[in-house]
Structure 1
């Protein structure tokens, strides 16, 4: 598919009748063309043919693209002009007499997406332009970020030639072939929300996954699972797939892809996506509902929400239904997200006895959930999405409970896994894979993080940081510190100012901290304050309930499975360095108490692992100074932790 609906050398464009250009654009446009749209195109062509006549004097090889594909699933820039070695991204607002902040962010966002996700643009100078056809041009100077993307230029219908002339005089970049540039590959790295919306709109997983040879392709993992589902149905087998991956590698997206492809309840391979992560379920349902209601004629928000809720469900609701209904569920395929967080026998039994009145309940949650699917007489498939070091709450079993259940109670099932599952990152304690009915499949592991698209090494660096190995963490951070900034400060206002200075266009930012960070309260960080996740993650920067305001703080429970572009991480004395290793503390009543149980210590370490792997583009860590008079916030609680992070290579603002 061509990247643009119309493209031509500028000299040819200037000589082509308007009607012929609009006809070419309309022919490639998939949707029904409205009169307003063709009028907008005519306005664009009229302005461009008038304004660009003298650009050929600067660069006779200038090239123009209309409706140029931006690597974010369905987005297209109105016009991209390549001239004199510069990429001009021009967003038109035909008939507009002012420049709205939303329109400015749209133009800026297109330029940033090209820079970040289009291989041909990584080293190019990009200037976004917002052109309102009935507005007056704003005066400007070029403000260029470190990545060579300019701040948006706001012009009226007669300001384009001036911008191009001044840009060429200011920068004098090297010329390049526009045709070759346009054919370079895309490496789209959407947020979980953007990707879910794209899959829901029937985009393929290839559209949202990286395709470079160095990255494990989500498409391969999805296709592997789809083949296992297909073969299980044909051969009347019951199967479980363990899908592993580093933080941000796309495990949840793989699950959503399977669920969206088999969302029809009439489908013999009907699937449902289940998660015990309440905020993730809430945010994804809301995001899908908002997107469908906004882009579908006659679909209400309520109807769209009901539809989204059919294939994204809370695992606890699925479990509670199965307790009172002894028949097999209607779904033949269930995807359990964050399966390592399922409850062990002790926690599941305690809950059932106290809340459900099941006095004789004596199963772990994994064993019970497999038993529910085992009620199918012919075939079924369970897909367990596993994150290493992600257990963050009391009683979360990890992967061993799933393996024990399959081995001890359901040996007639086929179990598929990657050999990566056998490493200590995923299986804590001992488990003999030789006695389990397991079948190795290399494609069931995702090794490359897509969340932090600026670096693939963040999760590894965080692994060593959490382990207290400053030397190794520093060595890894040096590989990407110029791409993914990590800063720290003892001043919260300074941290907020820094993160606000980094954000461009519609990039997201938010404040996060451990749920145990109780003594950040005097600093203005209230981890016990409740908020609605859907508003915090989805509402725009004008809404005080949104993450952008840096007022409400999300904990590891709120943000696990989700992400932000820029994170402000509050670090309290619950996870403190003592000079040789990290100590694990819990604030109870009026004082700190040390965590003694190994699993409690692991939950806290994992909480900080989650917090430190949520950012896509960079983060700042705030560690308070402490107090000489408040015994709950002693200076010594924080000083050695700050020094340790400095040893990891993290610089002060």
Structure 2
């Protein structure tokens, strides 16, 4: 059979595919013509002479190496390969060569050079990560993925680097032969090449997709299934309470930052309201309440074109409590979902005898007396308290449950809170109410690294950082803001429609960093609520204004530049708050040290695809930089 080049089979998502023996029987001209036609037809640029020359050299290299491979194992002649596999949603990204076997897929990234850099490794790791997480056929068939960086001019044996094996002229054939690959059919290869590939979406895109397409954004792997299991369990609690138990249910869903709590809540709101509208003609049976006014504003703008009164089901906690506090009015809904409920204000911040937890429980009691059942779902994120009045955390809810008149709630929670709520009217413990993995960063869980970093545990930071690199998270560190800026802008040239911006603590003194950021054109991090929306719509890319923890909490960027601006620094033994910052702020909080730690937890957990940590040239930050570099962070 002849090798099937793009000009002969234009419906397949690659430049050509066929067996190794058919490739060796092909000629250079049809190879070059097919790849040129494929790229010109599918991408927005014309192939230049340098690319043509690279393809020629790759053709010669592969022809020689495949002949050597067949001398070691003649069965490999039947193995299928594909050139220039195009990642469907991302126009510019192509895998040079894919090799197919019965239980695995091999990705080969060819470089016409003798040595490698960090970007080379990251590209190969990203191919492996994204196919594992987002390629339907790979997920369904539970295929193993092996990725290799091929240095066609190299002879040095680099071994494994960040979990990637590096091939060259001397070990290409022997390494592939040792895998004992088993040929598959042409039909299987065609199914794989045409299989659905759905890359990850950011939080806003995912929420819009729920309302537009009535489905949760595609989340591959075990971590994605965990979210769906949690949603199903929450639906079960609501349904049985409504039709059978007729109780007051208080549910606590905990999760690390970026674990998908908000997505689960929005999907639940959408599905329940849709169900009640069809069943009872009730358009508003559940409401999502957020302490993040910026998130609500951005969603209202994005969802404006979708039919229905979506605005009523997505509300800020502030407006909701103002409507129902000390008001006999009974809400239309019987399900309330409170995001970041661990940030509920205490009585002092409320300037009332009631905390926000009290107000929500009293509102739920009104719903119960009128409608016969009520369910409040509290989403709990660890280490997210950054405002005054939020420091009691989930204990504020335990305190509220002990008050007369609003007690007698049936509590559902994970084992982490079992002891805290042991005195509830009834207690159901289920680990479906605990989301332990972050999915924000391409399904890579960054939380162990962030926790180790904030604890100053060098060994644990290094171990967890190595895992992040192996899983494909782009992490860099620099003391030069221009280098940081160039890095994130380069990502934009390679991947369309990405977001980036500067994240910085609100406690940083502008005078310390003003002339070190963006060539001195830096205007601080304070933003009014309406300015936050504009920032996330595009002003973030100007890099002349930072987003503080207040503005970015609950939101995300593909490639943030996270600035350690001198308010918090590593002194060689532990993290320390700058003296003037502590003196000015400490009296406003019960535990200012914990607040500052939480600020950096928020800033470090906003990244979707990668992050640059920027350490300005301040003397007190020298040891911070040394600590992070020693832990293994790659320098720009």
Same structural fold, with TM-score higher than 0.5 when normalized by the shorter chain? yes
Q: Counterparts in 2 of 1:472-511, with a 5 A limit?
A: 472-482=460-470, 483-503=472-492, 504-506=494-496, 507-511=498-502
| Residue in structure 2 matching 1:259, options 269, 283, 290 | 269
- Alignment match, 1:573: 566
In structure 2, the gaps of 5 or more residues are: 31-41, 44-78, 111-118, 128-151, 154-167, 177-182
Q: Counterparts in 2 of 1:22-421, with a 5 A limit?
A: 58=23, 84-89=81-86, 107-108=91-92, 123-124=106-107, 146-148=122-124, 177-179=188-190, 181=192, 189-205=200-216, 207-212=217-222, 217-234=226-243, 235-263=245-273, 266-267=281-282, 270-289=285-304, 293=305, 307-323=309-325, 325-349=327-351, 361-376=352-367, 377=369, 378-396=372-390, 397-409=392-404, 410-421=406-417
* Secondary structure, aligned partner of 1:201: helix
Answer whether contact 2:409 2:425 (CA < 8 A) is retained.
no
* Matches of 1:228 and 1:370, distance apart in 2: 18
Shift of 1:434: 4.7
In structure 1, the gaps of 5 or more residues are: 1-8, 17-43, 63-76, 92-104, 128-142, 151-168, 294-298, 350-360, 424-430, 540-544, 627-634
Q: What is the Cα-based RMSD across aligned positions, in Å? A: 4.2
Cα distance change, pair 324–406 in 1 and its aligned pair in 2 (3 A): closer
Cα distance change, pair 624–381 in 1 and its aligned pair in 2 (3 A): same
* Matches of 1:435 and 1:316, distance apart in 2: 27
Answer whether contact 1:252 1:337 (CA < 8 A) is retained.
yes
* Secondary structure, aligned partner of 1:335: strand
* Matches of 2:631 and 2:378, distance apart in 1: 34
- Alignment match, 1:533: 532
Answer whether contact 1:218 1:254 (CA < 8 A) is retained.
yes
Is the helix fraction higher in 1 or 2?
Answer: 2
Pair 1:617-2:627 in alignment: no
TM-score, normalised by the number of residues in structure 1? 0.67
Cα distance change, pair 90–278 in 1 and its aligned pair in 2 (3 A): closer
Q: Deviations over 1:354-377 (max 9, x none)?
A: xxxxxxx30111011110121021
* Matches of 1:521 and 1:144, distance apart in 2: 34
* Matches of 2:256 and 2:365, distance apart in 1: 30
* Matches of 1:210 and 1:322, distance apart in 2: 40
Shift of 1:466: 0.8
Answer whether contact 1:272 1:313 (CA < 8 A) is retained.
yes
* Secondary structure, aligned partner of 2:441: coil
Question: Between Structure 1 and Structure 2, how many residues are aligned?
Answer: 498
Q: Deviations over 1:127-183 (max 9, x none)?
A: 9xxxxxxxxxxxxxxx98842589xxxxxxxxxxxxxxxxxx999999875146359
Answer whether contact 2:526 2:548 (CA < 8 A) is retained.
no
* Matches of 2:425 and 2:574, distance apart in 1: 36
* Matches of 2:579 and 2:338, distance apart in 1: 30
* Matches of 1:536 and 1:227, distance apart in 2: 39
Cα distance change, pair 246–216 in 1 and its aligned pair in 2 (3 A): farther
Q: Deviations over 1:524-550 (max 9, x none)?
A: 3433343733333234xxxxx2x2333
TM-score, normalised by the number of residues in structure 2? 0.68
Cα distance change, pair 238–12 in 1 and its aligned pair in 2 (3 A): same
